[in-house]
Amino acid sequence: MKVTLLFSKYITDSTGASAVMRCLKEGKSIFRVNKVSIDYFTRDDIYPKKDTEFSSNDKKKLVGLKAYIFSHIEKFCNSFSVYAILHMYIRSGRAAKILVSKYLSMPNNDDIVFCHEIETCYYFLKYRDGRNNAKVILVSHTNGELYGTVKIDYPCLKRGILKKYLINKEKYVLSKIDRLGFVSESSMENFKKNNKEFSREKLFFSLNGIPDIKIEKYIDNFCPKYRICCVATVNERKGQRFIIEAMMSLPRDILEKIHVNIIGDGCLKEELCNMSMLHGIERFVTFWGNRKDIPNLLSQNNIFILPSIDEGLPISIIEAMRQSLPIVSTKVGGIPEMIEEKVTGIFIDPSTEGVKSFFINMDKYDWREMGENSRRLYENKFSIESMIDTYSNIFLDLT
């Protein structure tokens, strides 16, 4: 059984999908035990990361005309669908197209092509032209709507003439793939509700999993009392704005008990930084940017928060569970499958008021006990072995 995973982004990126790709690569020996030979063809293989021009986090490196054009497109991509499509293509579509073209130009005899992005899957299906007869599996890291995160990032694509462009691409992919997977059961069920004509036999879900690491000892005497961290790309979808806005309205006695660590980069980071300084709360929040030492940073906190408005199955929550942190998050996507209410964490509304309510009521919960329960749930449900075994069975059943 020979499988190639196609992924048009860098596996070293800080996104959840890239983290899953790293885990799948680290688990190559587990695939081998399961009689699956898997290779990985990613953006890292087609050009070095330093040469990427249009990574959202690297855009400041652009100079001259390219910088002007990209900033102009980015300025209007939330309001005008033509700019949104251009922005999408520059950020991800172009790389997916190049990746697929290079893959198809190489000799291969894969039984299965394994994709985790709809754009890469689309270009593979469109351009293979009989050169590659491999079965195709797409795994969607969304809440069940294949372009769901795109529509949140680009609100104008929920309407207008180019909305049909996304619908047609989605229909094309669904008509050609052999299996469609999701990273949570609830996401799969959401897809079923909205796509009743799609064959149920082609659907599956596989919970994300990560390798275990040595656990740092829980620190009893945190100062301040609550050190709260959020690990995610800093954008509207992940909800860091709710955290900052909630902190801006907290009484001083509550602020003095907390420190929030926001780990990650993204389009909202600078704005939220400025907001915290403008409203005098910068002493209570630290913006770390992208970091490679996430486990170490997690161990310096005693609560994890992710107030997302949309999700698949966040790797950052699993990483926090592995570190014995209780979870504060929202009932979106697959997150309800990751939290046992008041056992491993609590649910909040994805809003400023939801986060504020959590801050005000922090003293009502036994966070240490919930953290210990969170670790046990990770061990039982979100191991890398469980994830790879599920995918291996899908591969073997398909052939």
DSSP 275-344: HHHHTT-GGGEEEEES-S-HHHHHTT-SEEEE--SS-S--HHHHHHHHTT--EEE-SSTTGGGT--BTTT
Identify the bridge partners of residue 303 per DSSP, sorted by sequence position: 228
Q: Boundaries of CATH 3.40.50.2000 in the chain?
A: 2-210+384-398, 226-381
**pLDDT for the residue 55:** 42
3-state helix, strand, coil in the chain (%, to 5): 50, 15, 35
User: Is 82 in a helix, a strand, or coil?
Assistant: helix
Beta-carbon contacts of 381 under 8 Å, excluding residues fewer than 6 positions away, are: 207
What does the pLDDT look like over 47-67, one tens digit per residue?
876 544 434 444 445 456 666
Give the DSSP H/E element, type plus range, for residue 389: helix 384-398
What CATH class does 226-381 carry? alpha beta
Look at residue 197 and tell me whether its pLDDT is greater than 60: yes
**pLDDT for the residue 157:** 79
User: Please, what is the average pLDDT of the chain?
Assistant: 91
Helix axes 315-322, 16-26, angle to 10 degrees: 60
**pLDDT for the residue 170:** 96
**pLDDT for the residue 53:** 40
Q: Which residue has the tokens 């990751």?
A: 338
Look at residue 222 and tell me whether its pLDDT is greater than 70: no
Q: Which CATH superfamily is domain 2-210+384-398 in?
A: Glycogen Phosphorylase B; (3.40.50.2000)
What does the pLDDT look like over 234-275, one tens digit per residue?
999 999 999 999 999 999 999 999 999 999 998 899 999 999
Mean pLDDT to the nearest integer, 143-167 = 83
Give the DSSP H/E element, type plus range, for residue 113: strand 112-115
Q: Cα dist. 43→12, 222, 265 in Å?
A: 10, 41, 20
Any idea how long the chain is? 399
Extract the tokens encoding 16. 């959840």
Extract the tokens encoding 30. 């587990």
Extract the tokens encoding 75. 């300025």
Extract the tokens encoding 19. 């983290």
Model pTM score? 0.86
Q: Cα dist. 214→22, 234, 386 in Å?
A: 18, 28, 19
**pLDDT for the residue 76:** 76
Q: Please give the torsion angle defined by the CA atoms of residues 71, 72, 76 and 81, in that order, rounded to the nearest 10 degrees.
A: -110
Confidence of residue 288 (pLDDT cuts 50, 70, 90): very high
Beta-carbon contacts of 128 under 8 Å, excluding residues fewer than 6 positions away, are: 104
Q: Which of 100-114, 130-144, 154-168, 171-185 has the lowest mean pLDDT?
A: 154-168
